[in-house]
């Protein structure tokens, strides 16, 4: 069969010239790869060659998922940089680098030990056996490797929660103050809330479901961003004395769009990776994630087209992210049809929420982080109680799981009530605590960069360099763009 196919293709494509020979060679290699081959291994049993042990497969899958989530840091950096002004690009990149670097060290030292403290510590605990990774500090077997993989997967989640705040406080926050905040969030706030829901804490005992982190990761980052944006105040020139809003133009929307594609790609580690096991259910989680993101982008684009008379790229991008955030909690609990609805609602919700935060609350959030992560994270957590189906969800939990069907599938208000309680508790705890943290930072080392540094740009003000050397296109003012007439006059 293969030989006949080989001869047929050869007669079709083998033509004189380099192109014909190249195609011929490629097809030959592909066909050779289809021929069954004998595999030899010295003193190895056949089953050891044919099968990868489940335990090892789980470790490899969790590490690969962690690598994908880590790559999301690049996506966040590109989105935040693209949606702000060029004169602050270096500063944003530095913050995204440092919040992961400091956060990883803190999560290694104490964060993981807090998040997965054992025993009766339903509110707050500390497992000294997990501090500095404990037995996995120098692992020699699969038990240690498994702990290393679990830590790796969680540390990139902690970094995601921390970096969300960077965009909401962009262009006017001192670097040292941002580092101080990120240390507290990664080392204390995220581990505590994560323990309540994922580490066997009191919300987990009540039966809350947040499969991949709509609340644990995204709402924690979003509510911290809300507190930070309030405490640091708006950018210079954002609001007039009468309260009207000035648009501050992003400097690179294509960069932001590429960042969203990277984030979307990374979400295939974020959500499917939260199975924690190399199992078939990974595929369903990937599908619901894809559909919700697509529906979110379409929903936000259509609403912006209706309201603004033209489709707005930044809104469509945030719509995709909103759909991803919204499906993060229910991705393993809902059907594909429900995923589309969840994403569509998230896309519409992020549009109106962004305008409400900017125009009604007068909170300056350059990238829409509060709406994308805080508001849509809450929506995703509630969606479990509306669209969740026990028959879909039970495969990821023990057989005696208390997960209930959602309201729209005959489960009543039970699961929805638990989800709503979790959303409310996390909001109050994170928002109140981070207001206190930012207030202390403001009173000690200062939180806001000086007006002079903001006008000049934090790249020069705090780092002494620029992102785009050799280009002169920024000055002062709300949008900080030099017109061609000004440049000509200076020459």
pLDDT of 151 over the 70 cut: yes
Among 28-32, 317-321, 372-376, 401-405, which is the least confidently predicted range?
28-32
What average pLDDT is seen over the chain?
A: 87
pLDDT of 43 over the 60 cut: no
pLDDT of 329 over the 60 cut: yes
pLDDT of 2 over the 50 cut: no
pLDDT confidence tier of residue 202, bands split at 50, 70 and 90: very high
What's the confidence (pLDDT) of residue 485? 39
What's the confidence (pLDDT) of residue 89? 96
pLDDT of 28 over the 70 cut: no
Q: Tell which wins on pLDDT, 71 or 390.
A: 71
pLDDT of 444 over the 80 cut: yes
pLDDT confidence tier of residue 136, bands split at 50, 70 and 90: low
What's the confidence (pLDDT) of residue 354? 98
Which domains, ranges and CATH numbers included, belong to the chain?
A: 2-37 (no CATH), 61-444 (1.10.3430.10), 451-490 (no CATH)
Per-residue pLDDT tens for 228-254? 999 999 999 999 999 999 999 999 999
| pLDDT more than 70, % of the chain | 84
Choose from 5-14, 260-269, 480-489 the range with maximum mean pLDDT.
260-269
- Overall average pLDDT of the 351-358 stretch: 98
pLDDT confidence tier of residue 472, bands split at 50, 70 and 90: low
d(CA 158, CA 106): 10
pLDDT of 143 over the 80 cut: no
What's the confidence (pLDDT) of residue 4? 53
């Amino acid at each position: 069969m293969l030989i006949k196919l080989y001869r047929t293709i050869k007669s079709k494509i083998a033509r004189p010239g380099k192109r014909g020979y190249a195609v011929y060679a490629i097809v030959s290699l592909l066909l050779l790869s289809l021929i069954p081959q004998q595999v030899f291994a010295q003193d190895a049993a056949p089953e050891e060659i044919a099968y990868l042990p489940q335990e090892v497969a789980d470790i490899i899958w969790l590490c690969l998922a962690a690598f994908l989530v880590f790559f999301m840091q690049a996506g966040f950096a590109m989105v935040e940089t693209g949606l702000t002004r060029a004169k602050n690009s270096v500063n944003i990149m530095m913050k995204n680098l440092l919040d992961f670097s400091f956060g990883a060290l803190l999560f290694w030292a104490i964060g993981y030990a807090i998040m997965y403290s054992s025993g009766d510590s339903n509110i707050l605990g500390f497992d000294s056996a997990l501090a500095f990774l404990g037995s996995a500090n120098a692992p020699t077997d699969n038990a240690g490797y498994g702990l290393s993989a679990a830590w790796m997967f969680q540390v990139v989640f902690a970094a995601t929660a921390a970096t969300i705040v960077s965009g909401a406080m962009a262009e006017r926050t001192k670097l040292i103050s941002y580092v101080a905040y990120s240390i507290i969030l990664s080392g204390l706030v995220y581990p505590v809330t994560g323990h309540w829901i994922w580490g066997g804490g009191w919300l987990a005992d009540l039966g809350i479901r947040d499969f991949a982190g709509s609340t644990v990761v995204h709402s924690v980052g979003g509510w911290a961003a809300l507190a930070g944006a309030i405490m640091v105040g708006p950018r210079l020139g954002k609001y007039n004395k009468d309260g009207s809003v000035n648009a501050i133009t992003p400097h690179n929307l294509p960069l932001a769009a590429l960042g969203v594609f990277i984030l979307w790609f990374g979400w295939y580690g974020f959500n499917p990776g939260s199975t924690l096991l190399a199992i078939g259910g990974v595929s369903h989680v990937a599908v619901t994630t894809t559909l919700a993101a697509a529906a979110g982008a379409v929903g936000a684009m259509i609403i912006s087209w209706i309201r603004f008379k033209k489709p707005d790229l930044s809104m469509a991008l945030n719509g995709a992210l909103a759909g991803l955030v919204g499906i993060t909690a229910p991705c393993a609990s809902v059907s594909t049809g429900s995923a589309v609805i969840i994403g569509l609602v998230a896309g519409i919700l992020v549009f109106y929420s962004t305008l409400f935060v900017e125009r009604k609350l007068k909170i300056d959030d350059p990238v829409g982080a509060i709406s994308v992560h805080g508001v849509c994270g809450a929506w995703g957590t509630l969606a479990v109680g509306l669209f969740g189906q026990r028959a879909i969800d039970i495969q990821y939990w023990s057989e005696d799981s208390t997960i209930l069907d959602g309201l729209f599938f005959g489960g009543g208000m039970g699961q929805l009530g638990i989800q709503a309680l979790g959303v409310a508790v996390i909001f109050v705890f994170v928002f109140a605590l981070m207001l206190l943290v930012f207030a202390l930072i403001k009173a000690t080392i200062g939180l806001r960069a000086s007006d002079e540094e903001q006008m000049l740009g934090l790249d020069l003000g705090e780092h002494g360099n620029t992102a785009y050397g050799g280009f002169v296109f920024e000055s002062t003012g709300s949008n900080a763009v030099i017109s061609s007439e000004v440049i000509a006059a200076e020459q």
